[in-house]
Amino acid sequence: MAQSYTPEILAQQPEGPYRIAGYCLGGTIAFEIARLLEAEGHQVEMVALLDTYNFSQMKRFGFISVFSQRLYFHARNLLSTELKKWPGYFASKLQVIRNGELRLLVRATLPWLFGSKGSEDQKQQAPILDLNQAAAFAHVPTYYPGTVTLVNPKTNYSFFPDQQMGWGELAGGLEIIKLDVLPHAMLEEPGVEQLVEALLSGSIGK
């Protein structure tokens, strides 16, 4: 994905400096794009990984553990959100479920429920989330000499134990910004306002 996106970026903006950010798996892709640009001699001014764990370093997790934590975080997010904004929050998360996240979670933690059966057409038409998950866990990032900024929620899942999110030895410098939000709220109001403020202020915005 990074090898595909980088030429598109260069076609739109042939010269740096570049500011690149991505959420979750998108952060891993942003990290790889930064590596490719830097290797080609371009100036990368910012690389921001938004709640992005290095999947190759992530602890194994069980369905009950992740599902219960996810319910807790969503409930807390709703309680900290104005009532009039609840429909927008629900709409956003329902879209994620429709895109297959719940099925992906079950498949990752309880694969025996799916078995190995299925037509060749079904196997060839794997949902994009399945492909993204496979890519995320298969990929092992390598060193990037520049500074990387991690933008994380104040509390995270128990299977994300490393405060450096697995990136500590992979970057020339590491800046960690903690937002006063819980998981799944960074891109929703009012958390997204904190994210914008963090991106536009301090060293990350220079």
Which residue type sits at 25? L
Structure tokens at 20: 């690149």
Q: What is the total residue count of the chain?
A: 206
C-alpha distances in Å from residue 60, one per residue of 68, 124, 136, 139, 181? 15, 27, 14, 16, 24
For residue 183, the model assigns a pLDDT of 84
Q: Which residue's entry shows tokens 């990752």?
A: 108
Nearest to 55 by CA among 117, 114, 136: 136
Determine contact, residues 57/160, Cβ cutoff 8 Å: no
Query: What's the pLDDT score for residue 112?
Result: 45
Domain edges within the chain: 2-205
Q: How many Å apart are CA 21 and CA 26, to the nearest integer? A: 8
pLDDT score for 114? 46
Q: What is the largest CA-CA distance in the chain?
A: 53
Instruction: Identify which of 149, 121, 144, 137 has the alpha carbon closest to the alpha carbon of residue 27.
Output: 149
pLDDT tens per residue, the chain (206 residues)? 999 999 999 999 999 899 999 999 999 999 999 999 999 999 999 999 999 989 888 766 666 667 777 777 777 766 777 777 767 666 665 655 555 555 555 455 545 444 544 444 444 445 777 788 888 889 999 999 999 999 999 887 776 778 899 999 999 999 999 998 888 888 888 889 999 998 887 545 44
Which pLDDT score is estimated for 123? 47
Q: Which residue from 139, 136, 146, 137 is spatially nearest to 170, judged by alpha carbons? A: 146
Span 2-205 CATH architecture? 3-Layer(aba) Sandwich (3.40)
pTM of the model: 0.72
**Amino acid 56: pLDDT:** 86
